[in-house]
Amino acid sequence: MIRALILGGTADASLLAAEIARAGIEAVYSYGGRTRAPADQPLPTRIGGFGGVSGLADYIRREGITHVIDATHPFAAEMSRNAAAACADNRTPLIALERAPWTKTPGDDWIEAVDVNAAVAALPEAPARVFLAIGRQHIAPFAMKPQHIYTLRFVDPPESPLPFAADVIVSRGPFTLDGELEMMRTRGIAWIVARNSGGDGARAKLEAARMLGLPVIMISRPQLPERLRVESVAEIMQWLGHSARLGA
Ligand code: 3Y8
Ligand code: NAP
């Protein structure tokens, strides 16, 4: 009998939840609690941290979880590390649904940055209009270059003062090419900072940058632990189906 835990919070995780609900597989969907009103899911849903590796391992045992699916965002590295450790402790089958990184195509003007600090260093000294498409949690280092005119994009309105003067767009995506072009043109954006999230939900900004000939500082993904990893919902369903046939 399968009882799956989906570590969610992305568009792909929502697609997976719909498939799992349709297949009538017992599962729980989990959000970290980062946003005020996360999208509803067609599965029983929990919101908030587990309390580190031990908290997650206890949850798995207490809730009789038989399979864990890590469908978190590629930058949710701590959650992924904790899931790998907790599943190893409990010997619980774990699989990751991880979309491929975006890759540079002809016409893209990308500057690779290994982390946020490298992205700050990659910005010019001369004042420029910069769009930071990296959310809310990791913007503090840009206070090192206050000379720029920053546009930020958050899911929810800011609750505390910003570490530097900036204009905030409140929008949760997914984003459209027309919307991104309009925003960049009306704000005279000259630089874009993005994280290599992959997927379709936030790709439009890259297409808009290419069409406008704008440079993109692309922050590469953090190292994630070794674990079974697939890129499609179908492969997750096969993995679950396989387990079901084995009577796991
Ligand atoms: C809470 C769930 C859907 C899912 C939407 C995807 C697409 C838009 C790309 C830009 C980049 C960013 C950010 C982003 C993307 C989708 C998808 C994706 C990037 C929601 C969601 C939760 C979060 C958390 C939030 C982070 C923030 C990051 C905004 C829901 C909407 C910038 C990542 O205020 C905060 O604390 C926000 C925190 C983690 C990164 C950051 O550090 O600020 N996502 N995003 C999840 C939870 O609590 O477990 O509210 O419904 C999900 C989505 N985010 O329904 O189509 O890739 O799946 N989310 C980044 O750098 O790429 C936006 O603006 O161009
Ligand atoms: P993170 O830094 O990897 O995780 C920090 C802690 O938050 C985890 O150790 C865990 O707390 C808790 N947590 C994270 N995701 C959780 C989940 N799905 N369910 C329960 N607890 C969770 O995480 P993050 O980068 O802030 O991402 C948080 C959520 O937003 C994730 O669901 C992720 O998929 C989603 N998201 C993130 C990004 C991004 O750019 N990082 C983009 C889109 C969506 P405990 O240690 O207490 O268990």
- Whether the pLDDT of residue 248 is over 60: the answer is no
> Torsion-angle region of residue 9: left (phi > 0), alpha (psi -120 to 50) or beta?
left
Q: Is the CB of 222 under 6 A from ligand 1?
A: no
The rounded percent of the chain whose pLDDT value lies above 90 is 94
9: Cβ below 6 Å to ligand 1? Answer: yes
- Mean of pLDDT values over 219-227: 95
Tell me 189's DSSP state.
-
* For the chain, domain boundaries: 3-100+224-239, 110-219
Question: Angle 243-245-247 (CA atoms, 0-180°, nearest 5)?
Answer: 70
The closest ligand to the CA of 173 turns out to be 1
Strand 67-70, strand 94-97: pairing: parallel
Q: Is the CB of 198 under 6 A from ligand 2?
A: no
With 70 as the cut, is the pLDDT of residue 19 above it? yes
Does any ligand 1 atom lie closer than 6 A to the CB of residue 34? Answer: yes
Q: How far apart are CA 194 and CA 201, in angstroms?
A: 13
140-148 mean pLDDT:
97
Distance (Å, whole) CA 234 – CA 97:
10
| Mean pLDDT rounded to a whole number for the chain | 96
How many whole angstroms from 7 Cα to the centroid of ligand 2? Answer: 8
CATH of domain 3-100+224-239: 3.40.50.720
Site to probe by mutation for ligand 1, drawn from 139, 155, 175, 219 as the one with most ligand atoms within 8 Å of Cβ, is 155
Nearest CA to ligand 2 atom 34: 72
Q: Which of 174, 180, 176, 177 is nearest to 199 (CA)?
A: 174
Q: Does the beta carbon of 9 sit less than 6 angstroms from any atom of ligand 2?
A: yes
Cis peptide before 215 (omega within 30 of 0): no
* pLDDT, tens digit, 9 for 90 and up, residues 25-76: 999 999 999 999 999 999 999 999 999 999 999 999 999 999 999 999 999 9
User: Can you tell me which residue has the tokens 């980062």?
Assistant: 34
CATH of the structural domain 110-219, one choice from 3.40.50.20, 3.40.140.10, 3.40.50.1380, 3.40.50.450: 3.40.50.1380
Question: In whole angstroms, what is the distance from residue 29 CA to residue 199 CA?
Answer: 20
User: pTM of the prediction?
Assistant: 0.96
Domains 3-100+224-239 and 110-219 equal at CATH topology level: yes
pLDDT value for 173: 84
Distance 199 CA to ligand 1 centre (A): 12
